[in-house]
Structure 1
Amino acid sequence: MIDLWKGIANTWDCDEMGHMNVRVYIEKAFEGLGTLAGACHLGHAFKPDAPSTLVPAQQHIRFMKEVHPGFPMWMTGCVLELKDTEATIYQEMRHGDGSVAAAFRTRLIHADATSLKPFAWSQRARKALDALKAEPPKETAPRGIDLSRAPLTNPDISQQIAKERGAKVIGLGMVPPQDCDVFGRMRPHMFIGRVSDSVPTLLHDWRTRVASADPDVRMGGAVLENRIIYRRWPKAGDLFEIRSSLGRVEEKVHSLVHWMLDPVTGLPWMTAEAVAVTFDLNKRKVIATPKPLMDELAEIAPGKLSL
């Protein structure tokens, strides 16, 4: 485990829930991946003239303790698995007191920076990556998402399939230039950022009803885990729509599956699964869901989409 990042969450990194938004976790994780790349003779990877770069294929994030503005944070990481053209990287973000805020498992493809064709590691990069292999702590292991379950292939995901299954459009927009990286592709943290912006259009009223039994509750929501499959890379001017459906619902947690699609071609940009809770913003505690509202969520979020 080597040091990858140190800093704080700024006030503008936090959302209406009073804690750091999910997109900022991923943004800081990718800063940390840049540090790791530099330590492995890949300091060029995120520069405009790079011959090769590191492209995320899949990512799992487990959020364990809220991050509030102004408090010190630090991140370490190691290599979990190394192959000819890819590596799985483990990162953990900790609070100043040492408690874990979040843990990341990211499968990265070493690829040509223009074509995104997989690119073999150099001998010295592979040696440096191999030297960073380690085992992550058990306390940060995935909990509510099964990473052994293989995601769908791209042909099984389309706008037409989502429409036929009745999955609702909860987000819609265009990729602006400021959301893109030095290669002109949308930055990874903006995928889940757009989902984060869209979920309230689906769940705000439902979560309000979940919280309505106690007049002292101030309703909010929080994500416990995310699994993201990065499938294609939109550029400035590309359009997107987000269609979502219920994964499962229990008394204290529920999951949603999100498809971010290109409404012009119907092809997927990204798919994701999120495990979330309804949250009392005053007590910073989970609110249990009454059985009738558990049943109602299946009607609010139809579609039976899969990751």
Structure 2
Amino acid sequence: MMIDIGMGSVQVGECDVMGHMNVRHYVSRALEALDWLGLELGLGPSYTREHGATLAPADQHIRFVRELPAGTPFSIHGGVVHRRGNTLRLYQEIRNAATGAVAATIVTDAALADASTGAPRPLLPDIAAATARLKVSVPDYAAPRGLRFDPPHDALSLEQAVELGLSLMHKGSVQLAECNEHGLMRADGVISRIWDGVPNSPARGVRQQSQPIGKIGSAALEYRLVYHRPVRAGDLLTVRSGLKAVGSKTTTWAHWLFNGQSGAAVAVAEAVGIAFDLTTRKAVSMEDEVRRALEEFVVPSLSA
């Protein structure tokens, strides 16, 4: 059975231009809850202070089920799905505390990592008892739909991304506010950089030309995030993105984050998104003309 690992309410500063909590803050709040789950596993703050290691996400699948507007109270619940070697598969769900409805589900493959360097550490030998006590199953409504969640492909290099024609969406440098106390960027910084770059997509204008200004927005339905290597405060980051597929209502993107100096991939995300009516708060079907125009942007064989 899942245990309570988080509680709070959505703040105005956590909401985006669409009027609901931004994807970054779903991840940020889930990370806070992961710390409480770590405590139940014997990996709480005292363990981190003594041994310099903490649980860190390596691979995540997220489904966004319902919106959370400003002021909404929420609770977070979770447990351990299974252990594979030094990796724990963890399950979390964020619920609207006023209605009990599930707002988001997060399945995370996490490992013990050095809090200062991000280097992997072995799990505690006696963690089996705690994982058994926290055993849960991933419910059907949290299973992948538009995205896979099997082992990731090899990482692209920046050179390969350029050769594939992936669009430059973002350039920046990592700030201390995005990092833990040791200067390593938190996982929510990855999705934050992606979302910051989305308006720069050359495909964005295709949908905007056919939609009434101020009446149509966009939202993420599903994300898969793979964290390839640690990122430190001061590192340069660049994001290059490509369109994978176009459906009747959805678009599927792959976003690659690279170290701007070395060109090495630090993370990748795949995302399924929709356009939705800002008045009815429902998904909007794509016009045939728009779909055909978007299909021109599809990059064949693009994957994470």
Q: Secondary structure of 1:286's partner?
A: coil
Alpha carbons 2:82, 2:131 under 8 Å: kept? no
| TM-score (norm: length of structure 2) | 0.93
| TM-score (norm: length of structure 1) | 0.92
- Any stretches of 5+ residues in structure 2 without a counterpart? none
Shift of 1:124: 3.7
Shift of 1:300: 4.2
Q: What is the distance in 2 between the residues matched to 1:167 and 1:263?
A: 15
Q: What is the distance in 1 between the residues matched to 2:149 and 2:271?
A: 13
The sequence identity of aligned pairs, in percent, is 35
Cα deviation, 1:215-238, whole Å, max 9, x if unaligned, reads: 7x6121100000000011211111
Q: Tell whether 2:244 aligns with 1:247.
A: yes
Counterpart of 2:137, as a letter, is: E
Cross-structure match for 2:207: 207
- Any stretches of 5+ residues in structure 1 without a counterpart? none
Cross-structure match for 2:178: 179
Counterpart of 2:81, as a letter, is: L
Q: What is the distance in 2 between the residues matched to 1:303 and 1:162?
A: 13
Q: What is the distance in 1 between the residues matched to 2:70 and 2:47?
A: 28
Cross-structure match for 1:32: 33
Q: What is the distance in 2 between the residues matched to 1:126 and 1:138?
A: 25
Counterpart of 1:230, as a letter, is: Y
Cross-structure match for 2:44: 43
Counterpart of 1:168, as a letter, is: S
Alpha carbons 1:257, 1:271 under 8 Å: kept? yes
Cross-structure match for 1:109: 111
Q: What is the distance in 1 between the residues matched to 2:111 and 2:46?
A: 11
Distance 1:233 1:111, change over 3 A: closer
Q: What is the distance in 2 between the residues matched to 1:248 and 1:118?
A: 34
Given the alignment, which residue of 202, 224, 227 partners 2:224? 227
Cross-structure match for 2:4: 3
Q: Please list, as runs of the form range in 1=range in 2, the aligned pairs for 1:11-90 lying within 5 A after superposition.
A: 11-44=12-45, 47=48, 50-90=51-91
Alpha carbons 2:15, 2:70 under 8 Å: kept? yes
Shift of 1:287: 1.5
Cross-structure match for 2:139: 137
Alpha carbons 1:256, 1:275 under 8 Å: kept? yes
Q: Secondary structure of 1:28's partner?
A: helix
Q: Secondary structure of 1:211's partner?
A: coil
Cross-structure match for 2:165: 166
Shift of 1:182: 1.6
Cross-structure match for 1:99: 101
Cα deviation, 1:186-241, whole Å, max 9, x if unaligned, reads: 110010011011111115422312424xx7x6121100000000011211111111
42-51 vs 267-276, greater mean Cα deviation:
42-51
Aligned positions, number = 301
Q: What is the distance in 1 between the residues matched to 2:292 and 2:51?
A: 51
Counterpart of 1:163, as a letter, is: V
Q: What is the distance in 1 between the residues matched to 2:179 and 2:119?
A: 20
Distance 1:102 1:45, change over 3 A: farther
RMSD: 1.9
